[in-house]
Amino acid sequence: MRSFEYRRAADRTEALSMAGAERARYLGGGTNLVDLMRQNIEAPAALVDVSCLPGTIEDTPKGGLLIGAAVRNSFVATHPAVRTRYPMLSRALLAGASAQIRNMATVGGNILQRTRCAYFYDAVGSRCNKRELGAGCDAIGGFNRYHAIFGTSEHCIATHPSDMCVALAALDAVVHLVGPEGDRSVPMIDFHRLPGVNPQIETVLRPGELITAIELTPSAAAANSAYRKVRDRSSYAFALVSVAAGLDVVAGKIKDVRIALGGVAAKPWRAVRAEEVLRGQVPNRERFREAADAELSAAKSFDGNGFKTELAKRTIVAVLGELNGADA
Amino acid sequence: MAIVINGTEYPLPDDFRVSLLDLLRERLGLTGTKLGCNQGACGACTVIVDGARVLSCLTLAVQAEGREVRTIEGLASEDGRLHALQHAFIEHDGLQCGYCTPGQICSAIAMVEELRRGDPSYVTADLAEGPKGATRQEIRERMSGNLCRCGAHNGIVEAIEEMLVGEAV
């Protein structure tokens, strides 16, 4: 690991001024960044520790929740308001990593964690356009069981590894930012970028910007929601496919439905096509399958991950069935 | 500021690159905590910081400044009597080579507190209500961050169960 300066920010203003230096990075729990630094994939000149900034979960005037970026993943997952009003978020967090890592990882750091593509991590032996633009992508013709089926490019097929972000995308969460040029807010579904020709640019964050909070709005679909993660072992593994979904049925028809997929793209994948098929319809298994088919019709798989298309469809149908009160 | 380990204060290392794990093992001679994968995949380095189980390999020592760290060396009583869970591990063969054991035990001690608080896990059926007792399924899910290459997981689960006997968790 290359040497670096370490500074602890007392508040967000101090954080912004400390991060002014070139090649500074904000530090949350460090569960991903410290590892990347040890692998010499990231080599910041300075770390600005923002994990000590006020970390609270507060009710908003609109009846939603404002979750501070420094709040630990385990605190969000076990918070009574999250468990009852946004169960998909609680379940998604509990599906991620291990208890030890959830105790360390912050909300902001979870959003900004980087792909676990093995070729991205193999700095010595593999080509990766994220690490070195123009080098090539060894995942495309390599072992790509864990890679994306939506939004890929000829330059990168990596996935975003977060479970939490999949739930946040389904919940229409908003990311609050402060930066050298002022404050702004970005919807979660627009926060991460697809790889295109610049896979090294993974989010819409501008230099020096800091995530301060996540805002959730209340909804019946959020209160009746679930998260299911399919993986190679039953715990402590990244998703092959995951589904976050919420369902609000009124008078026998679907009033509101939210579906997002994990493990399939460089960002949490909001299943807008599936939602369109379902809105206003009578909820049943055939309709759920039709919606899943519509969403996955745009999927493009590779040699090692063709199974993900059918797996995603079945998982969507199963989760919607569970929310509809039927056997999954 | 300093770092408190098992009740004793120690100065922080000058080099920010030193992990909490390296501070414990290489600088303070507290070699009970083990170095496994050094990348957050195995749980061998688990310690308890301010009551919460964390991975010391992914924690920079400086991040633990002002906090209280408890390691396997800090579990026995002052007169040398083992912690109840250490006894239970011996009783139930919760180990073979023993390399993952300090991490398993630190992890389990903090896990029991999480259960007592009523924290849900991924396998808890009703998130709002919380876990219905320390079932084997709950213990296995909650201990999934600690791998045992010898395959002593059955004994580990039994040891934890024994410690929880009689508790309405």
Tens digits of per-residue pLDDT, A121-138? 999 999 999 999 999 999
Secondary structure of residue A157 in the 3-state scheme:
coil
Is there a contact between B53 and A100 if contact means CB atoms under 8 Å apart?
Answer: yes
φ/ψ of A306, rounded to 5, equals -60, -30
Distance from CA of A164 to the nearest CA of B (A): 13
- Are residues A47 and B16, on separate chains, in Cβ contact within 8 Å? yes
pLDDT above 90 for A1:
yes
DSSP letter, residue A220? H
Q: pLDDT at position B167, please? A: 61
The β-bridge partners of A193 are: none
What is the tens place of the pLDDT at every residue in A171-228? 999 999 999 999 999 999 999 999 999 999 999 999 999 999 999 999 999 999 999 9
- The reply to whether residue A74 touches residue B52, judged by beta carbons under 8 angstroms, is yes
Which pLDDT score is estimated for A327? 46
Question: Is A87–B127 a contact, with Cβ atoms under 8 angstroms apart?
Answer: yes
Q: Residue B167 in 3-state DSSP?
A: coil
Window 203-242 of A: residues touching B by CB (8 A cutoff) are 229, 234-236
Angle between helices B153-164 and B101-117 (to 10 degrees): 40
What pLDDT, on a 0 to 100 scale, did the predictor assign at position A53? Answer: 87
pLDDT computed for residue B146 by the predictor:
98
Sheet holding B46-49, edge to edge: B8-11, B2-5, B68-70, B46-49, B52-55
Q: Which positions of chain B have pLDDT values less than 70?
A: 166-169
Distance spanning both ends of chain A, measured CA to CA: 48
Q: How confident is the model at residue A23 (pLDDT cuts 50, 70, 90)?
A: confident
- From CA B70, how far away is CA B83, in angstroms rounded? 13
How near does any CA of chain A get to the CA of B134, in Å? 16
Q: Which string of DSSP letters, residue by residue, matches A57-122?
A: EEE-TTS-EEEETTSBHHHHHH-HHHHHH-HHHHHHHHHSS-HHHHHH-BHHHHHH-----HHHH-
By a Cβ cutoff of 8 Å, what residues of chain B touch chain A?
15-17, 19, 38-40, 43, 46, 52-55, 58-60, 62-63, 107, 110-111, 114, 117, 119-122, 124, 127-128, 140-142, 144-146
d(CA B76, CA A65): 43
pTM of the model: 0.97
**Residue B165 confidence (pLDDT):** 76
* Position A141 pLDDT exceeds 60: yes
Instruction: Give per-residue pLDDT as tens, A24-50.
Output: 999 999 999 999 999 999 999 999 999
Rounded Cα distance, A151 and A147, in Å: 11
Q: In this structure, what are the phi and psi dihedrals at residue A317, rounded to the nearest 5 degrees? A: -60, -40
**pLDDT score of A22 more than 80:** no
Angle CA A84–B126–A247, to nearest 5: 55
**What average pLDDT does the structure give for chain A?**
97
**DSSP-assigned beta bridge partners for residue A39:** none
pLDDT for the residue numbered B166: 55
Q: Which residue of B has its CA nearest to A32?
A: B58
